[in-house]
């Protein structure tokens, strides 16, 4: 993009320098040999040199051309330095585009993280409520367990007492063979003995 702008500027500068040289050459009083007016005559001295005014015009044209060449070379060096700057600007533009893409990706990641954090916060709130209900149920079960342990202890003591009372009614007769009472009631058999 920058290169295109610089090249356009260079082309317009080259065109302007060509127009200036053509314009300046057209305004001079020197003519090519084919364009020289027929009634004008060149006077030369013995060594074949042209008149002094014509040489002055030629020298001024040459100096003008040399100054235009130096100006063109300066413009070309500036264009090349600007061209290098354009390359650097293109590189900067590419880097900025890459950074922009990276920033967009990071923003997307942050949005995903925010959604995950919100979902985790909701899940954590639900888990806290479940844990609270479980703790309440556990406290109720502990109370019931303590009550059940007390009841079991009471029932064990009651059972032992009943067993002991039931054994008191049992008599052991030593020396009496088994099944001697046969089909008679035990109380009647013992009374007859």
CA distances (Å), 141 to each of 27, 131, 144, 155, in order? 117, 15, 5, 20
Which has more confidence, 66 or 7? 66
Q: What's the pLDDT at 40?
A: 42
**Could you tell me which residue, 179 or 35, shows the higher pLDDT?**
179
pLDDT for position 51: 55
CA dihedral 66, 67, 68, 69 (to 10 degrees): 50
pLDDT tens string 131-182: 999 999 999 999 999 999 999 999 999 999 998 888 777 767 777 777 777 7
Better pLDDT: 12 or 92: 92
pLDDT, tens digit, for every residue of 172-188?
Answer: 777 777 777 778 787 78
Per-residue model confidence (pLDDT) at position 43:
46
Q: How does pLDDT run across 85-137, given as a tens digit for each residue?
A: 777 888 888 999 999 999 999 999 999 999 999 999 999 999 999 999 999 99
With a cut of 80, say whether residue 50 has pLDDT above it.
no
Residue with the larger pLDDT of the pair 1 and 129? 129
Q: Which residue has the higher pLDDT, 166 or 82?
A: 166
Q: Would you say residue 72 has pLDDT above 90?
A: no
pLDDT at 78: 80
* Half-sphere exposure for 68 (CA within 13 Å, toward CB): 19
SS (H, E, C) the chain: CHHHHHHHHHHHHHHHHHHHHHHHHHHCCCCCCCCCCCCCCCCCCCCCCCCHHHHHHHHHHHHHHHHHHHHHHHHHHHHHHHHHHHHHHHHHHHHHHHHHHHHHHHHHHHHHHHHHHHHHHHHHHHHHHHHHHHHHHHHHHHHHHHHHHHHHHHHHHHHHHHHHHHHHCCCCCCCCCCCCCCCCCHHHHHHHC
Whether residue 18 is predicted with pLDDT greater than 70 in this model: the reply is: no
pLDDT at site 8:
54
């Amino acid at each position: 993009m920058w290169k295109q702008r610089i090249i356009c500027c260079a082309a317009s500068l080259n065109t302007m320098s060509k127009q200036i040289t053509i314009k300046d050459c057209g305004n001079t009083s020197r003519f090519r040999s084919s364009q020289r007016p027929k009634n004008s005559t060149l006077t030369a001295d013995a060594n074949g040199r042209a008149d002094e005014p014509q040489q002055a015009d030629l020298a001024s044209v040459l100096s003008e051309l040399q100054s235009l060449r130096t100006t063109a070379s300066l413009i070309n060096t500036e264009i090349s330095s600007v061209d290098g700057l354009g390359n650097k600007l293109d590189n900067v533009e590419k880097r900025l585009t890459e950074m922009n893409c990276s920033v967009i990706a990071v923003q997307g990641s942050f949005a995903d993280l925010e959604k995950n954090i919100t979902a985790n916060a909701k899940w954590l709130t639900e888990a806290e409520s479940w844990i609270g209900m479980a703790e309440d149920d556990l406290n109720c079960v502990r109370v019931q367990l303590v009550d059940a342990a007390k009841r079991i202890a009471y029932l064990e003591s009651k059972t032992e007492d009943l067993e002991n009372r039931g054994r008191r009614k049992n008599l052991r007769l030593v020396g009496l063979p088994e099944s001697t009472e046969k089909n008679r009631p035990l109380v009647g058999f013992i009374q007859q003995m």
